[in-house]
Amino acid sequence: MEKPVQLPNQPLADRMRPKHLDDYSGQKHLVGKGAVIRTMVESGSLSSFILWGPPGVGKTTLARIISNQLKRPFYSLSAINSGVKDVRETIEKARKQQFFDQPNPVLFIDEIHRFSKSQQDSLLGAVEAGILTLIGATTENPSFEVISPLLSRCQVYILNSLDKEQLIELLDKAIASDMHLKKLDIRIDEYEAMLQYSGGDARKLYNTLELVVRSEISDDAKKIRITNDKVKERLQENIAIYDKNGELHYDIISAFIKSIRGGDPDAAVYWLARMLDGGEDIKFIARRLVILAAEDIGLANPNALLMANSCFQSIHVIGMPEARIILSETAIYLATSQKSNSAYAAINMALDKVKASGNLPVPLHLRNAPTKLMKDIGYGKDYKYAHSYEGNFVADQFLPDDLKETQFYQPGNNAREKEIRKNLEKNWKDKKKYNDQA
């Protein structure tokens, strides 16, 4: 009897890692024809940058491809297990290579947002002097955790989650080209479950495929048919423990945020406990609470943002284990607070309008007039000072002419914003009357 195919210990995601930009999946806005990273590679002129995006979209792979295609020495550090000493040793290696006329090395730092200020400071001189080219990777907004001097020396490029078509293409390619999987008769009858569990994460997708295939290999059969039910069954049998650097990181923070948004303090505290028990970075949790306070509670209760920000500051001072109490208090307060996303919706609508209408001129009466010439041509003319009018309000036009009837802010249906709406309705009527007469 023929022995069943044995899958190697090397993960499928590593075996399928592309070696060239032409084989790289997704991120066409960065690596497509004429896009910024492809242009850098083709020109051979590489500057330091940070790749910001969710897990499993190819940040590490892209850095390796760039280094490989440009034939640059490649050094890799992980912020999780590297210190200042490791950074300095790597910089010294790069410095020595300059004597041999080798091209500028690439230093790739994964999870760069986890580097301390002193670790990031240690990179500055080498990046500025061109001893090495830095490529950082982060799942967090670099503006929060990367120091300004380093950030100013790096471009930030945003990577997106892979879409359905790209994920299916990766699965089909793995089955057809992986030297081990192609020996098996594998057919995917249903893709939905694998796509759902992957969440746009290619590594997670490959892990799921390999898990199902391993569980189906037997001594007397090579035919493997993958269905949604089979995927769900295998994943339930092999449910992963919380991993702050991988599998359930984004799933649990998503459940946490949605529980607070949905007004369920019990679920919020449960998911908070899951994260704390798994060793999640408390700064990551607190930062998400600040965002939620502004996005989902907003003007319904402005104190929510103050409390979330206070929580963020406090946990830095207190640390664990006491920080759990502050996080719990804040999560419960936000979950039980009235909700409004009116500010979030207003700025998004305004940004869409700006993109659609371009840079419309500022009305003359609102323009600054620091010189006599500007005053002579009408800058600031007929401006009405609101505090000189009853109720500190004056009917005037403050938007560009083409947008004078536009309303971006729509008060939410909560006690505080009902009062705001009541005050604004009179103002809106007066403004409409003013605009009709203008």
C-alpha 204: how far from chain center: 17
What is the pLDDT, as a whole number, of residue 313?
93
Per-residue pLDDT tens for 194-232? 888 787 788 888 888 888 888 877 645 568 888 888 888
What is the pLDDT, as a whole number, of residue 240?
47
Dihedrals phi, psi of 174, to nearest 5 degrees: -65, -45
Give the Cα separation of 102 and 419 in Å (integer).
68
Give the Cα separation of 112 and 120 in Å (integer).
8
Mean pLDDT, residues 36-44: 89
pLDDT at 164 over 90: no
Average pLDDT of every residue of the chain: 82
What is the pLDDT, as a whole number, of residue 311?
95
What is the pLDDT, as a whole number, of residue 286?
94
Give the Cα separation of 91 and 107 in Å (integer).
9
Give the Cα separation of 292 and 344 in Å (integer).
10
Per-residue pLDDT tens for 85-98? 888 888 888 887 76
Report H helices in 178-302.
192-198, 202-216, 228-237, 249-261, 265-277, 282-292
Domains of the chain, first to last: 26-158 (3.40.50.300), 162-237 (1.10.8.60), 249-336 (1.20.272.10), 354-437 (no CATH)
Q: Name every residue whose Cβ is closer than 8 Å to that of residue 218 and which is 6 or more positions away in sequence.
A: 4
What is the pLDDT, as a whole number, of residue 1?
40
Which range is least confidently modeled, 105-114, 391-400, 418-427?
A: 391-400
High-pLDDT (> 70) share of the chain, %: 82
My answer on whether omega of the bond before 321 falls inside 30° of 0, hence cis, is yes
What is the pLDDT, as a whole number, of residue 438?
59
Indicate the pLDDT class of residue 272, thresholds 50, 70 and 90.
very high
